[in-house]
A and B are shown apart, each in its own frame.
Chain A
Amino acid sequence: MSHILSWLTFFPLIGAVVIAFMPSRMDSLVKWVAAATMAVPLVLAAQLLGMFDQSSTAFQLVEQYDWISSFNIQYHLGVDGLSILMVLLTALISFLAIFASWNIKKMVKGYFIMLMLLHVGMMGCFLALDFFLFFVFWEVMLIPMYFLIGIWGGEKKEYAAIKFFLYTMFGGVFMLIGMLALYFFSADANGGVSTFNFLELAKVDWSQFKVAIFGSQFAVDKLVWWFLFLGFAVKVPVWPFHTWLPWAHVQAPTAVSIILAGVLLKLGTYGFLRVNYQLLPDATLAFKYALVILGVIGVIYGAFCALAQKDLKKLVAYSSVSHMGYVLVGMAVLTPAGIQGAVLQMFNHGLSAAMMFMLVGVLYDRLHHRYIVTPEGKLGFGGIAQKAPWITAIWMVAVFAGMGLPGLNGFISEALIFLGSFPVYRTETVIMSIGIVLGAAYLLWMVQRVFLGPFTTLHKDTSTGALHAAHEIQEITGRELIVLAPLGALCLWVGVYPQPFINLMKNTLNQLIEVVK
């Protein structure tokens, strides 16, 4: 199929238009249209996988057209070993998110339209090879995300939405400045023509440019590196730019949390690799240690915060901060094991975090609260294993995938990151290993309080807001299994036989190391 990447990105728009014109009383049909629409990118992604040449390090299936020619802005898409896994993940998670949204009651049409727009933004970001186009997609994501949290969210949705928006906007501003700086400077290196093209920008020798600010000289690439860093760091989120994340997660509806943790966070680390690493290798080499330090802080700090959380979803949110810290360290050490571990960890965390947020939603749908410990200091859950063994079993898969149990996906990527980083930053790696113990601690302690012991789970009455003892918990439903089963199966597959996933990326990433070094 020609233009497969464009179809992959924009096909959901067709569904969005169809849904927009459907009468709003056909809510259940809207869901099915949405599911059918999102199945197409998933099929296309599978087809893309067949067409993808693993041995090549170049961009493949490239589509390149002039878009705004007066500014030399192009419509330029392509896929390589760095983005292929993320593309697959995006297609999968977007599809599963539809089924995770089945319970949406409010403004159903608008909700699914927003989900589809979100897909366009995410997919576009992973495929764009023109910085301007990348930025457009980046900002496109922001708007549906803002509304999804702000309209369909929990009790404090407005605050969470604004917080998310502010933070990301703040990062976006810096990214924009960095992008424009690269654009304008590239003219001098590129025969007078400025460019947003990633491939052209990567060829520029940035060390020749200096800029005077208040009388002192700065190397342009070093300065721009930090601007871009801020843009991406908010998204990852790198400590200390992470405080929007727990809010956004806690307030967002289940499907949005799944997308947020499953895909959106990866855009930050993807941005580092795609932009900072490929365009500004010298600056990356100079500042990589900052990434290591921030990563290690993220790992430990996120784990400690998770340990003390009383809200189940917040706990999972902080575990994301912790797990994304590993990604930063892995990519910063510039070894094959480290960088491949980092990208694999992005993929793996996408699977296991999506699973966990879905499972939080499963409990929330049944009990209407998320208190591990209620504000009165009682346990909000307890002994769920007695009443719902299947829910518990699937939780266990997600929990053990998250804590890096061998045989499940988290182990292989974390092990690769540790193996990659140990020879380079020994002390930092040893400190980071505290995260292994803490990771098990906060997850198992949660499991103990939520699932084990006698059945003492509370149920929140949605009309009065009062908590009282629950009697039964409905077991997992078929719809929920549609979301959870593929994720669980992939967790197992990556854990047992990761080589196919590594083959997709290893050549590109190893070459990226060469570029930076």
Chain B
Amino acid sequence: MEQSNLITYAILIPLLPLAAYFIQSAVGTRLPRMGDWVSTGAIFLSFLLATQIFSAMWGAHDPSWVVAKSWTWVDLGSAGLPVKFDIGVRLDNLSAVMLLMVTLCATLIHLFSTGYMRDHHGHPADGYRYASFFSYLSLFTAAMLGLVISDNLLTLFMCWEVMGLCSYLLIGFYRHKHSAANASIKAFMTTRVGDTGLFLGMLALFALIGSFQFEEIYKALQDGIFTDPKNSLLGFSAAAMIGFLIFCGTVGKSAQFPLQVWLPDAMEGPTPVSALIHAATMVAAGVYLIIRVFPILDVGNVLPIVAGIGGFTALFAAILAIKQNDIKKVLAYSTLSQLGYMVLALGVGNFTASFFHLITHAVFKACLFMCSGSVIYAMHHEQDMRHMGGLAKKIPFTFWSMFIATLAIAGAPFFSGFLSKDMILASVLGYGQHHGGLSWLLVVSGFVTAGLTAFYMFRLVFMTFFGHPHDHHHYDEAHEGGWNMWFPLVTLAGLSLWVVYTGHVNPFQAQGWFTQLIQPPKLPILAESVKEYAEFEHHGHVPAMIASLVVATLGIFFSWLVFGAKKIPAAKLAGIWPNFVHKAIDNLYFFDWFYIKVAIQKGLMPFAKFWTIVDDKVVDRGMVDGLGDVANVAKGTINLIDDVVVDRTFVDGFGGGIPSALGSSLKVLQNGQVQRYLSVAVVALMLLFFFLRGVLF
């Protein structure tokens, strides 16, 4: 296909949902069905265009396939060096795959929403806000797709922030709930902290190379500009500093430690939002960002930090997931944990595996969330798993889809998660063997997390779908939604099969079209390290696969023992852990407590209040008293002139010149003494200056 066509398609892909956003905002409530078909149709068209781009990429079958075009967005002219910002579209294998995944998930989630956001009689559940919901979804999708096609950090960042806005609006969608409002502001502010780091990184980057474009960044890396000692920042190389700052953005957006606190609360949003934004796309955008700037991270030696944060988050979140009873909270913590895996994968240098897991996770996690949505819908908005049970017979499509997606996330063979997770674990194991020492902690974290994931995900399945119903009223009424609700689930479950990502029948062999096409950028400066990273995966491959199968099986088995067959009472399992462990988990390791109760309520707010008092009592008072002194001096010096000259000419003259209607009321104000003296002071200083000029100068 012609390249210019591809570029046009790429631009249309985000513009279609954007247009839908504007239509929905303006006239959504007046359209038939409140315009849900406008948003859904727009994203479906984008999906069709994305398949075109994907097939062009597929046809080229070249890991370094790129179609790009850029324009000047802002040109500041020049004073010395010219300053301008070029923005453009970059289609390569990463963005083509990403576009397909995002448009597909988004289309299915839009479709699902047309059922979920209505009540059981088919009426929009939130009145006119049904239209707003779709308008926000469209704006979000447009931003996400804009981010994917960006060839530069500037438009990427702009879309990134707009996604943050949509996330804020959608988390707070149930406006009457205080908890939703709290969660939305928390999400925006937490990610904003990370974004500020990213923004500073971009400033440093622009100061260094005068461009935001990925091509220019890669070129400058190759030219050694990032490693030149004279460009170092605070004693670190430019690559290290910029890489680290950009990674801060990922920590916020992908909810990595220590900014993970917002994602579980984000579940206050409607479930399709959790599926789209807080599982499949936006949170994955953070990982997409570091995949894009992987060369900077590598050259700057930031990868060990990335690995550490990712590995820690993976385990830390998996532990929290075990004790959750809210079905969406379990999924939220598992998302955190899986995002940790992706970050960990990149940290140990496995570019391909990181992106692989991003894609497979997006598909099965979107499926899991929508299944949970389907369960919640069936249970009339009951989210507590302790009130569920035995739903498998009632909602079979949901059950089977969720079962498949759970197998995928647990890393069972024949499913996509097995392939991507196995690649990650192989690399981590190889990394641990090679570096030894503390890096073994990453290995432990990787495998323990894998086991825990299988355990808590099957706990979810057993509690929800097996056993006896705990709430007969809801159970009896539970039923599957319409086709628009089950079709997306079944489709995504189908896409969780291994063969989709490899193209061959061997379920244990991850190598396939995906791994061939997704390769790190071919930069000579990276060649050495990329080869080394490939070694890790190669070395770790067989033992990692065996070990991961063992831990996954153990996880599923224990889960069955406790929650399926109930051979071990859950309370007994809980009892073997000391109290402080429970306390830590119940309080989410005290992070929320620290940030909100200590840092904000005890730190920031009193600080802000202190400054308002200073403003009032010190700055204001000081200035006013100072001015008063000026006025007094003026008064003392020129009392005489005041009476004779100014009072007559200025005040009376002016007072006579304005309409008498105003005059009478103005008189009251004019009786204020101070301003008169000040006007006197002006005249006096003028005169004084005329005299002094002769004397002094």
Kindly state the separation between the CA atoms of A386 and B129 in the bound complex, as whole angstroms. 10
Q: How many residues of A sit at the interface, in one of the four size bands?
A: 35 or more
Which residues from A are CB-within-8-Å of B678?
165-166, 169-170, 173
Interface centre among A146, A184, A407, A440 (most CB of B within 10 A): A440
B189 touches A176 (CB 8 A): no
B679 touches A243 (CB 8 A): no
Give, as a whole number of angstroms, the nearest-CB distance from B614 to chain A: 9
B608 touches A305 (CB 8 A): yes
Give, as a whole number of angstroms, the nearest-CB distance from A301 to chain B: 6
Kindly state the separation between the CA atoms of A435 and B607 in the bound complex, as whole angstroms. 15
Kindly state the separation between the CA atoms of A400 and B619 in the bound complex, as whole angstroms. 30
B627 touches A170 (CB 8 A): yes
A421 (CB) vs chain B CBs: closest residue = B203
Q: Does B392 contact A (CB under 8 A)?
A: no
- Which of B78, B161, B185, B675 meets A444, CB within 8 Å? B185
Given contacts A151-B665, A407-B162, are A243 and B623 in contact (CB under 8 A)?
Answer: yes
B623 (CB) vs chain A CBs: closest residue = A243
Q: Does B546 contact A (CB under 8 A)?
A: no
- Which of B79, B616, B619, B662 meets A240, CB within 8 Å? B619
Q: Does A162 contact B (CB under 8 A)?
A: yes
Q: Does B573 contact A (CB under 8 A)?
A: no
Which residues from A are CB-within-8-Å of B162?
405-407
Q: Does A364 contact B (CB under 8 A)?
A: no
A166 touches B627 (CB 8 A): yes
Kindly state the separation between the CA atoms of A307 and B178 in the bound complex, as whole angstroms. 20
Which residues from A are CB-within-8-Å of B581?
none
Give, as a whole number of angstroms, the nearest-CB distance from B150 to chain A: 12
Interface centre among B74, B184, B207 (most CB of A within 10 A): B74
- Interface residues in B173-187 by Cβ distance below 8 A to A read 175-178, 180-182, 184-185
B609 touches A308 (CB 8 A): yes
B76 touches A337 (CB 8 A): yes
A386 touches B175 (CB 8 A): yes
Chain A, residues 491-517, CB within 8 Å of chain B (1/0): the string is 000000011001000110011011000
- Interface residues in A420-435 by Cβ distance below 8 A to B read 422-423, 426, 429-430, 433-434
Which residues from B are CB-within-8-Å of A466?
none
Kindly state the separation between the CA atoms of A24 and B660 in the bound complex, as whole angstroms. 12
Q: Does A20 contact B (CB under 8 A)?
A: yes
A452 touches B172 (CB 8 A): yes
B76 touches A336 (CB 8 A): yes
- Interface residues in A180-211 by Cβ distance below 8 A to B read 180-181, 184-185, 211
A448 touches B185 (CB 8 A): yes
Q: How many residues of B contact A (CB 8 A)?
A: 77
A211 touches B76 (CB 8 A): no
Kindly state the separation between the CA atoms of A506 and B83 in the bound complex, as whole angstroms. 11
Which residues from B are CB-within-8-Å of A430?
200
Q: Does A340 contact B (CB under 8 A)?
A: yes
Give, as a whole number of angstroms, the nearest-CB distance from A114 to chain B: 9
A308 touches B608 (CB 8 A): yes
B189 touches A150 (CB 8 A): no
B674 touches A166 (CB 8 A): yes
A510 touches B605 (CB 8 A): no
B76 touches A502 (CB 8 A): yes
Chain B, residues 127-169, CB within 8 Å of chain A (1/0): the string is 0110010000000000000000000000001110110010010
A400 touches B165 (CB 8 A): yes
Which residues from A are CB-within-8-Å of B604?
307, 441
B178 touches A454 (CB 8 A): yes
- Which of B165, B624, B659 meets A110, CB within 8 Å? B659
B679 (CB) vs chain A CBs: closest residue = A169
Q: Does B640 contact A (CB under 8 A)?
A: no
B661 touches A429 (CB 8 A): no
A307 touches B175 (CB 8 A): no
Q: Does B519 contact A (CB under 8 A)?
A: no
- Which of A243, A389, A412, A440 meets B188, CB within 8 Å? A440
Q: Does B611 contact A (CB under 8 A)?
A: yes
Q: Does A418 contact B (CB under 8 A)?
A: yes
B189 touches A514 (CB 8 A): no
Which residues from B are CB-within-8-Å of A59?
none
Q: Does B477 contact A (CB under 8 A)?
A: no
A110 touches B207 (CB 8 A): no
Which residues from B are CB-within-8-Å of A498?
74
Q: Does B577 contact A (CB under 8 A)?
A: no
Give, as a whole number of angstroms, the nearest-CB distance from A401 to chain B: 12
A239 (CB) vs chain B CBs: closest residue = B619
A304 touches B76 (CB 8 A): no
Given contacts A336-B83, A423-B207, A514-B79, are A383 and B607 in contact (CB under 8 A)?
Answer: no
B77 touches A510 (CB 8 A): yes
Kindly state the separation between the CA atoms of A165 and B354 in the bound complex, as whole angstroms. 63
Chain B, residues 325-369, CB within 8 Å of chain A (1/0): the string is 000000000000000000000000000000000000000000000
- Interface residues in A20-56 by Cβ distance below 8 A to B read 20, 24
| A-contacting 9-mer, from B282-290, B450-458, B510-518, B689-697 | B689-697
Kindly state the separation between the CA atoms of A251 and B203 in the bound complex, as whole angstroms. 40
Q: Does A289 contact B (CB under 8 A)?
A: no
Kindly state the separation between the CA atoms of A450 and B358 in the bound complex, as whole angstroms. 38
B189 touches A437 (CB 8 A): yes
A406 touches B161 (CB 8 A): yes
- Which of A151, A172, A335, A451 meets B666, CB within 8 Å? A151
A440 touches B161 (CB 8 A): no
Which residues from B are CB-within-8-Å of A453?
175-178, 181
Given contacts A444-B189, A453-B177, are A212 and B76 in contact (CB under 8 A)?
Answer: no
A336 touches B611 (CB 8 A): no
Interface centre among B132, B168, B203 (most CB of A within 10 A): B203
B607 (CB) vs chain A CBs: closest residue = A304
Q: Does A10 contact B (CB under 8 A)?
A: no
Which residues from B are CB-within-8-Å of A511?
79
B672 touches A308 (CB 8 A): no
Kindly state the separation between the CA atoms of A165 and B669 in the bound complex, as whole angstroms. 12
Kindly state the separation between the CA atoms of A181 and B686 in the bound complex, as whole angstroms. 11
Q: Does B196 contact A (CB under 8 A)?
A: yes
Chain A, residues 363-398, CB within 8 Å of chain B (1/0): the string is 000000000000000000001011001000000000
A184 (CB) vs chain B CBs: closest residue = B693
Which residues from B are CB-within-8-Å of A405?
161-162, 165
Kindly state the separation between the CA atoms of A86 and B283 in the bound complex, as whole angstroms. 41
Which residues from A are CB-within-8-Å of B157?
406
B189 touches A441 (CB 8 A): yes
B189 touches A513 (CB 8 A): no
Give, as a whole number of angstroms, the nearest-CB distance from B526 to chain A: 27
B697 touches A184 (CB 8 A): yes
Given contacts A166-B678, A243-B615, A243-B623, are A499 and B73 in contact (CB under 8 A)?
Answer: yes
Kindly state the separation between the CA atoms of A163 and B620 in the bound complex, as whole angstroms. 10
Give, as a whole number of angstroms, the nearest-CB distance from B204 to chain A: 7
Q: Does A131 contact B (CB under 8 A)?
A: no
Kindly state the separation between the CA atoms of A438 and B604 in the bound complex, as whole angstroms. 10
- Which of A110, A389, A452 meets B181, CB within 8 Å? A452
Given contacts A383-B176, A454-B176, are A213 and B696 in contact (CB under 8 A)?
Answer: yes
Residue numbers of B with Cβ under 8 A of A are: 73-79, 83, 128-129, 132, 157-159, 161-162, 165, 168, 172, 175-178, 180-182, 184-185, 188-189, 192-193, 195-196, 199-200, 203-204, 206-207, 233, 604-605, 607-609, 611-612, 615-616, 619-620, 622-624, 627, 630-631, 659, 661-662, 665-666, 669, 672, 674-675, 678-679, 681-682, 685-686, 689, 693, 696-697
12 contacts between A and B (CB under 8 A): A110-B662, A147-B669, A169-B679, A176-B686, A177-B689, A212-B696, A336-B77, A336-B79, A386-B176, A422-B207, A436-B195, A440-B189
Q: Which 9 A-B pairs have the closest CB atoms?
A: A406-B158, A452-B181, A243-B620, A510-B79, A307-B608, A422-B203, A308-B608, A506-B77, A423-B207
